[in-house]
Amino acid sequence: MSETLAPENEVATVAVMNQLPGRDVRAESPLYHAEMDKLAARNPRAGGVLLRELKLLGHLTLRGSQDNQSFMSGCEAVLGVALPTQPLTSVEKGSVSVRWISPDEWLVVLPGDQAFEVERGLRAAIEGHYSVVNVSGGQTILELSGPNAIDVLKKSTALDVHPSQFPVGKVAGSVFAKSTALVRRSSEDTWELVIRRSFADYLWLWLQDASREYGLVIKS
Amino acid sequence: MSQKNRLQSGGRIDRSKALTFTYNGRQYKGYKGDSVASALLANGVDIVGRSFKYSRPRGIVAAGAEEPNAVLQVGATEATQVPNVRATQQELFDGLVCSATNGWPSAESDMMAAFGKVGGKMMPPGFYYKTFMFPQSMWETYEKFIRKAAGLGRAPLVNDPDEYDNMNQHCDVLVVGGGAAGLMAALTAARSGARVIIADEQDEFGGHLLSSRERIGGKPAADWAAEIVDELAKMPDVMMLPRSTVNGYHDHNFLTIHERRTDHIADKAPEGQIRQRMHRVRAHWVVLATGAHERPLVFGNNDVPGCMVAGAVSTYINRYGVVPGNKLVLMTTNDTAYQTALDWADTGREVVAVVDTRANPQGERIEAVRKRGIKVVTGSAVIDVQGKKRVSGVSVGSIDAKGEKVTGKVQHLSCDTVASSGGWSPVVHLSCHTGSRPVWNDEIIGFVPGATVQKQLTAGGINGTYALDKVLAEGVKAGKEAASRLGLTAADTQLPNVRTVREGTPMALFHIPHTKPTSRAPKQFVDYQNDVTAAGIELATREGFESIEHVKRYTAMGFGTDQGKLGNINGMAITAKVLGKTIPDTGTTVFRPNYTPISFGAIVGRNCNELFDPKRYSAMHKWHLENGAKFEDVGQWKRPWYFPKAGETMQQALDRECTATRESVGILDASTLGKIDIQGKDAREFLGRVYTNAWAKLAVGKCRYGLMCKEDGMVFDDGVTSCLGENHFVMTTTTGGAAGVLEWLELYHQTEWPELEVYFTSVTDHWATMTISGPNSRKLLSELCDDIDLDKDSFKFMDWREGTVAGVPARVFRISFTGELSYEINVQANYGMHVWEKLFEHGAKYNLTPYGTETMHILRAEKGFIIAGQDTDGSVTPIDLGMSWCVSNNKPFSYIGKRGMVREDCVRKDRKQLVGLKPKDPKAVLPEGAQAVDDPNQPIPMKMLGHVTSSYWSANLGRSIALGVIKGGHDRMGESVYYPLADGRVIEAEICSPIFLDPKGERQNV
């Protein structure tokens, strides 16, 4: 069930592993304990801030040089979309999104069960120096929406979230409360925060607190 | 008590909404729209406090942020106590409870008054330095007494129930001040398309216009302001912040605004609302339209209640419908203040006289006053005031043209209110916060903002521009300039029609002369809040304190909650006069944030209680909670410390956990250890450069322990790194060192060795890590894993294998921190809990025992394994640790720390070296940190040899053990050292090998 990718007649240079168990094994996302489905069921109908966890997705950290043609074209071929090279931007196609993180780093988010296949595909398609790391277990995405989502962001981060400075599709990593988040505006009033697993509970508390004056609605 | 000073009509108060409030235990009535100060004045309350040093009764003198006396304690309950609230800035609400801050036991009849009058003579400037410094041991006693008597307000004794928060804001233009200039600047900038924030400390925008009787564009000024406010409020990119004081102007146009959102509604914020909010603003441009504060004049007994600033009197009449007295004497150096006489006369109360310090004043307002039949005494001044708890009369004398001496006979006038105006001081505070020094302007007789490096513009009163038409024009100009500097097309705002008032020249006069010399004259107060007098400033300069900063610190001028807003310029002018210098040569003291006092709550925001600091949790945290773990903070992580069973002490729990692990199997949640994925063809070479040991030959499938040093050769982190593939490694770090190590690797990669092809990615949170340790760990693992050959000869110590554990793909590392047979199981964190629970399902028959960090520490200490950060402190080399086996000097490239380790100081024989320590009394556990000496009977200070770094009771060994550093310890095996303790005991310990158990390592190799 697991394998080390070793091109014919070559020493295995990198250990690649399908890390997903069978469907019978219970998965616990970083906010599993918050029982957000139950909260969603007994929610108030209205509120200024809507929150849901986009959980158990596949997260791959890509590192490589934009000067490496094989890397750029290989990524585009496998992901179905070119890596964004414009700083602080993202691209999205179907169920795959790619966030620019630095000139040589991107975060690919895709359905959880595709992470292994895509990693293998990338490794088969790319030559030269690069890295692909599966970080799916280490982070999750919180989606904030609603008319007051922007106010919650203003309480949490020093980023300028005004539409003129933070248009749809923009991505920026920054301090978020006393943790960090990779913030992306996915639509006019929808924001995605990529956060680290170990900080998820803190940020969950923080966001509940920051949303309280506007009314918080949990979505499943 | 009735509101005897309230007018029947007029003002911006709502007489249909009566409010009840309590001051000093008595109930009073006021109206919606009142400030606490205006309501107190309406009710004829004269005394609002006792002075700091002399305990003199004090009344309200001003109407805004500059008020020095009416500084109240507000709060109906213990939890809602707020000290140092300026009554002039606190809006009245129904049920408000306040009391005078000063005055012990009450402001009306002060026990300190007698002392104060005698004590006044005993309390010259420099009083603290001269009197209370010796003997030093008595200072605490003095301080308690002085603080109680001085009354600086008090903090609540219980938790504040309200919530405060912070919000980050960005804008193109931040306009500070919502008066005529600020409104025009904001409107012009906003119409040009700029993102604008306009903040004003008052509840309504309009500033001075709210208490003015001028007309703008044919309308009352306040109505005109309301129209501008309406237009601004409709613009989507304009944020309007009333009740918001811009308190700090920091570098790079970062400003902090203190917004009071509910302080005007009730004692406690309504449910679900934030009481106060700190806005942290980045502004491309700042327009300061902060206006000016009127200066009172300095004359004898000018602190008797009833002495007020002229403009404040007008504000109380025009804005609040309150006349703060019956018979007014107005003293002025300028035309503007004549308006106060007109306003007073219009209420039907008596203006006894206007006393003008100028010999021949000419101007429209003077003519208007004369036309009303009000007596104008020219070339004269009020030299002192009579009355104790309220003004009863004044002495008026003619003065010379320079205002330096009294020249003629002194006449007495009977009155109960003295309004004075010495001109206006621009509010330059914010412009000075960033280091800009203000500049004296002779024409306006005041300091104006000096050159600044900030993107800052100014408009209106802050520039010394006071005529309304010019103020409006400056506002438009600043708005246009900000817009065009931003690259916008500046909108052209039409200036409304305003009638220009013809005014005469004001006189530069601050300190009114008396018939007696200043030192003998009745006290002439400069700084009310700190009881600083003109005589005190003269004394300070006579004693040699000539720099204005020294005068400030010697006299206390400009200290306190008002920071000398009212008195500082007068004080500087007096200092200049005494020294024979000009005011610009004398200069100002430094203005610093905050402009007005701010509650700690607003600074802290939501970063308190549960949100004070992030708590990081592993994927198995819920299990730990449910199984009674006690937690230890490791960095921000909450790690299980130990798992006590019912009735167990901590030591009993540790003994049980330690024994169970060595006898059968224990389990540790090791998820918090830092994990860094390293890929690239030069990964191996990179490891060789950052670790002290060799990595060239580590084969795929193998693990190795490594030590990391800083350049100085001192150990800073350690951990096991495993070779996953020829170009692929996973490094582990200490829990607390994870972020620092990743930064360290990136630093060296990016700055020193960018040519190495290697990438680092943190996978700390991605993997859940559980270590099963003990002789039965193989049996346990074999029940859950059938795709790894666990045979001791095929899966050896320091190997890793990929397989499936409890149905979940896993990497299993056979490494050990306990010295026992151990397997570290890593699975994707989303499945950590599943695997953890399965281990317990199968582990029951082996008495699988969860243990925490404390048992981990004990077990590793039994084996002499170090903990970086506990047994090392940044001053310990690998050699000092006795770990030369972990240093390779045969690497082709150097490694970090190699040079440092061979420095002369690092090869000394008498360096502190890590050794084991066995107390002679096996029951005695050395305290960590205890210092070793050779002779416990030597005199203090003793010659210290090193300290205990780790110390435990070892249940497995049935004795106490410790690790510690000892000078030259490696060569002192078997010798005794002594640990004299603070409680008088001395523990003797034998220096020994740090490996107390299984020195050959047989237990982990089974």
- List, as one string, the DSSP characters of B919-944: ESSTTPPPPTTPEEBS-TTSPSSP--
Residue B787: list chain A partners with CB under 8 A: 1
Task: State the pLDDT confidence band at A6, using cuts at 50, 70 and 90.
Answer: very low
pTM (predicted TM-score) = 0.94
What's the burial of B96, exposed, middle or buried (CB within 10 Å: 0-12/13-18/19+)? Answer: buried
Run of H or E residues at B420 = strand B417-421
Nearest CB to A29; choose among B168, B724, B830:
B830
Nearest CB to B615; choose among A4, A201, A213:
A201
Q: Do A11 and B763 touch (CB under 8 A)?
A: no
Please give, rounded to a whole number of angstroms, the shortest distance from the CA of B34 to a CA of chain A.
Answer: 28
Closest among B334, B346, B285 to B310, alpha carbons compared: B334
pLDDT of residue B663: 98
Nearest CA in chain B to A14: B725
Residue B577 neighbours by CB under 8 Å, 6+ apart: B510, B511
pLDDT of residue A46: 87
Picking from A18, A19, A32, A216 by the largest number of B CB atoms within 10 A of its own CB, the best residue to mutate is A19
pLDDT of residue B435: 94
Q: B164-292+426-485: which CATH architecture?
A: 3-Layer(bba) Sandwich (3.50)
Interface of A with B in 141-200 (CB under 8 A): 151, 154-155, 157-160, 162, 164-165, 177-179, 196-199
Picking from A59, A107, A113, A131 by the largest number of B CB atoms within 10 A of its own CB, the best residue to mutate is A131
Q: How many CB atoms lie within 10 A of CB A194?
A: 23
For residue B633, give the DSSP letter. E
Domain boundaries, chain B: 14-150, 164-292+426-485, 296-422, 516-592, 674-762, 767-841
Residue A1: list chain B partners with CB under 8 A: 787, 804, 809
Q: Do B809 and A160 touch (CB under 8 A)?
A: no
Q: State the Cα–Cα distance between residues B14 and B21, nearest whole angstrom.
A: 16
Task: Count how many Cα atoms sit within 13 Å of the Cα of residue B815 in the half-sphere of its side chain.
Answer: 24
- What is residue B835's three-state secondary structure? helix
Q: State the Cα–Cα distance between residues B224 and A147, nearest whole angstrom.
A: 33
Percentages helix, strand, coil for chain B (3-state, rounded to 5) are 25, 30, 45
pLDDT of residue B138: 59
Please give, rounded to a whole number of angstroms, the shortest distance from the CA of A22 to a CA of chain B.
Answer: 7
The packing angle between helices B180-191 and B468-485, to 10°, is 30
pLDDT of residue B172: 98
The whole-angstrom distance between residue B32's C-alpha and the CA centroid of its chain comes to 34
> What CATH topology corresponds to B674-762?
Alpha-Beta Plaits (3.30.70)
Residue B618: list chain A partners with CB under 8 A: 198
Q: State the Cα–Cα distance between residues B622 and B599, nearest whole angstrom.
A: 37
Residue with token string 């610009």:
B584
pLDDT digits (tens, 9 = 90+) for B612-638: 999 999 999 999 999 999 999 999 999
Nearest CA in chain A to B677: A133
Q: Do A13 and B759 touch (CB under 8 A)?
A: no
Nearest CB to A137; choose among B166, B680, B830:
B830
pLDDT of residue A8: 44
Task: State the pLDDT confidence band at A27, using cuts at 50, 70 and 90.
Answer: very high
Residue A10 has pLDDT above 50, yes or no: no
What superfamily in CATH does domain B767-841 come from?
A: Probable tRNA modification gtpase trme; domain 1 (3.30.1360.120)
Please give, rounded to a whole number of angstroms, the shortest distance from the CA of A40 to a CA of chain B.
Answer: 21
Q: A34-218: which CATH architecture?
A: 2-Layer Sandwich (3.30)
Q: State the Cα–Cα distance between residues B947 and B845, nearest whole angstrom.
A: 43
> What CATH topology corresponds to B516-592?
Arc Repressor Mutant, subunit A (1.10.10)
Interface of A with B in 96-125 (CB under 8 A): none
Residue A27: list chain B partners with CB under 8 A: 830-831, 834
- What is residue A32's three-state secondary structure? helix
Residue B611: list chain A partners with CB under 8 A: 177-178, 202, 205-206, 209
Q: Do A155 and B165 touch (CB under 8 A)?
A: yes
Run of H or E residues at A183 = strand A179-187
Residue B688 neighbours by CB under 8 Å, 6+ apart: B694, B695, B696, B891, B893, B895
pLDDT of residue B53: 81
Nearest CA in chain A to B759: A131
Mean pLDDT for A131-143 is: 98
Q: Residue B891: left if φ>0, alpha if ψ -120 to 50, beta else—which one?
A: beta
CATH, range B14-150: 3.10.20.440
Q: Do B169 and A13 touch (CB under 8 A)?
A: no
Contact by Cβ (8 Å): B725, A13? yes
Q: How many CB atoms lie within 10 A of CB B409?
A: 9
Burial B344-356 (b: 16+ CB within 10 A, else e): bbebebbbbbbbb
B164-292+426-485 and B767-841 have identical folds: no
Residue A206 has pLDDT above 80, yes or no: yes
pLDDT of residue B50: 87
Q: Which residues of chain B have pLDDT under 50?
A: 1, 104-105, 114-120, 149
Residue B763: list chain A partners with CB under 8 A: 133, 135, 138
What superfamily in CATH does domain B296-422 come from?
A: FAD/NAD(P)-binding domain (3.50.50.60)
Mean per-residue pLDDT of chain A: 94
What's the burial of B683, exposed, middle or buried (CB within 10 Å: 0-12/13-18/19+)? Answer: buried
Paired with A62 in beta bridges are A106, A132
pLDDT digits (tens, 9 = 90+) for A87-102: 999 999 999 999 999 9
Q: State the Cα–Cα distance between residues A31 and A53, nearest whole angstrom.
A: 8
Nearest CB to B619; choose among A12, A22, A28:
A28
Q: Do B167 and A4 touch (CB under 8 A)?
A: no
Q: How many helices (H) and strands (E) does chain B have?
A: 24, 49
Contact by Cβ (8 Å): A108, A155? no
pLDDT of residue B52: 77
